[in-house]
Amino acid sequence: MTGNIILAIVILILLLAAAVIVRTCMLQPTSAMTAKVELQENERAREYGEALAKMIRKETVSSRFDTDKTKFYEFHEILEELFPLVHKTCEKHEFNGSLLFKWSGRGKAEPILLMSHHDVVEANGKWDHEPFSGDIDGHGNLWGRGTVDTKSSLFCIFTAVEELIKEGHQPEGDVYIASSCTEEFSGEGAPSTVAYLKEQGVKLALLIDEGGMIMEEPIGGVKGTYAMVGVLEKGYGDLKFIARGKGGHASAPGKNTPLVRLGKFMADVEKHDPFTSEFNPTVLEMFRRVTPNMNFGMKMVFANLWLFKPLLKKLMPSISPAGAAMLHTTIAFTMAKGADGLNVLPQEAYVTGNLRFIPHQPTDESIELISEKAKQYDLETEVIYKDYPCPVVNYAEDAFRKVEETIHEIYPGIGVSPYVMTGGTDAKYYKDICDNCIRFAPLYINKQQYESIHGLNENISIGALPMGVDFYKKIIKES
Query: CA–CA separation, 426 vs 212, rounded Å?
Result: 14
pTM of the complete model: 0.92
Q: What is the structure's pLDDT at 23?
A: 81
Strand partners for 415: 226
Taking alpha carbons only, the member of 11, 26, 50 closest to residue 296 is 26
Contacting residues for 473 by C-beta, under 8 A, at least 6 apart: 160, 163, 164
State the first-to-last Cα distance of the chain, in angstroms, to the nearest integer: 70
Q: Measured on CA atoms in the order 88, 94, 99, 105, is the torsion positive or negative?
A: negative
Taking alpha carbons only, the member of 277, 278, 274 closest to residue 369 is 274
Query: CA–CA separation, 310 vs 124, rounded Å?
Result: 42
pLDDT by 10s per residue, the chain, length 479: 676 677 666 666 666 677 778 788 888 999 999 999 999 999 999 999 999 999 999 999 999 889 999 999 999 999 999 999 999 999 999 999 999 999 999 988 999 999 999 999 999 999 999 999 999 999 999 999 999 999 999 999 999 999 999 999 999 999 999 999 999 999 999 999 999 999 999 999 999 999 999 999 998 889 999 999 999 999 999 999 999 999 988 888 889 999 999 999 999 999 999 999 999 999 999 999 999 999 988 899 999 998 889 988 888 887 778 888 999 999 999 999 999 999 999 999 999 999 999 999 999 999 999 999 999 999 999 999 999 999 999 999 999 999 999 999 999 999 999 999 988 899 999 999 999 999 999 999 999 999 999 999 999 999 999 999 999 999 999 98
Q: Measured on CA atoms in the order 254, 258, 259, 265, is the torsion positive or negative?
A: positive
For the chain, state the CA radius of gyration.
25
Q: Beta 437-444 vs 91-95: how paired, if at all?
A: unpaired
Contact by Cβ (8 Å): 101, 91: yes
Contact by Cβ (8 Å): 121, 454: yes
Q: What is the structure's pLDDT at 151?
A: 98
Residue 343's Cβ-side half-sphere holds a number of Cα atoms within 13 Å equal to 3
Taking alpha carbons only, the member of 359, 339, 342, 360 closest to residue 350 is 339
Phi, psi of 202 (to 5 degrees): -80, 130
- Sort 463 into a burial class: Cβ within 10 Å, 0-12 / 13-18 / 19+: buried
Query: CA–CA separation, 383 vs 364, rounded Å?
Result: 10
Q: Which domains does the chain have, with CATH numbers?
A: 43-232+390-477 (3.40.630.10), 235-386 (3.30.70.360)
Q: What is the structure's pLDDT at 21?
A: 82
Q: What is the structure's pLDDT at 11?
A: 67
Taking alpha carbons only, the member of 169, 164, 175 closest to residue 83 is 164
**Mapping DSSP to helix (H, G, I), strand (E, B) and coil, where does residue 417 land?**
strand
**Mapping DSSP to helix (H, G, I), strand (E, B) and coil, where does residue 352 land?**
strand
Contact by Cβ (8 Å): 19, 303: no
- Sort 249 into a burial class: Cβ within 10 Å, 0-12 / 13-18 / 19+: exposed
Q: What is the structure's pLDDT at 311?
A: 87
Query: CA–CA separation, 405 vs 67, rounded Å?
Result: 42
